[in-house]
Structure 1
Amino acid sequence: MKLIILIAFLALLNLAKSQNCNNDCSRIGINFLCGKTVRNGREIRCTYRNPCEMHLHACQKREEWRKDTTGRCTRDSEECRR
């Protein structure tokens, strides 16, 4: 019984954690980075103002984004404008 309660608690904790996609990244400042992800087998690169903005976007899209390079991307993917 304790195991079931523990599993339910951890599931609720993960759910609450995954739905917190409302961070305010505007106060962090500008520190451009090029982030990337793979969507439908295609690499997508987008420029973000700071790491917070990239993590916020990843949370909202429920995707895994990683820093590719410091500074702006050489070329942003078409999907970045959506």
Structure 2
Amino acid sequence: MKLIILVVFLAFLGLAKSQNCNNNCSRNEINYLCGKTVRNGREIRCTYKNPCEMDLHACQKREEWRKDTTGRCTRDSEECRR
């Protein structure tokens, strides 16, 4: 019984931590950048309004995104629309 309670508690703790993404991005700041990540062995590039928006997306998707270039991507990947 104690083991079950411990497992449930740890699962709840993990869930709480996973949803702790900072969403205080300024809606007014426009500083476009092209971010990239690798998903299933494929490079994905998406345009973000600012670094905060990219970091928020990375946190929510639990992925590591990095700035590729300043400004919009030459071409956004299909996955960006999802």
Give the residue type in structure 1 aligned to 2:74: T
Which runs of 5 or more residues in structure 2 are unaligned? 1-13
Q: How many residues align?
A: 70
Query: What is the match of residue 30 of structure 1?
Result: 30
Which runs of 5 or more residues in structure 1 are unaligned? 1-13
Identity, % of aligned positions: 90
Q: CA deviation at 1:33?
A: 0.1
Write out the 4+ residue segments of structure 1 that deviate beyond 6 Å after TM superposition: none
What does the per-residue CA deviation read over 1:5-29, in whole Å, with 9 as the maximum and x for residues that have no partner? xxxxxxxxx9765432241313450
Q: Secondary structure at the match of 1:55?
A: helix
Q: TM-score, normalised by structure 1?
A: 0.75
Q: Secondary structure at the match of 2:53?
A: helix
- CA contact 1:28–1:50 (8 Å) conserved in 2: no
* Structure 1 CA distance for aligned equivalents of residues 38 and 79 of structure 2: 12
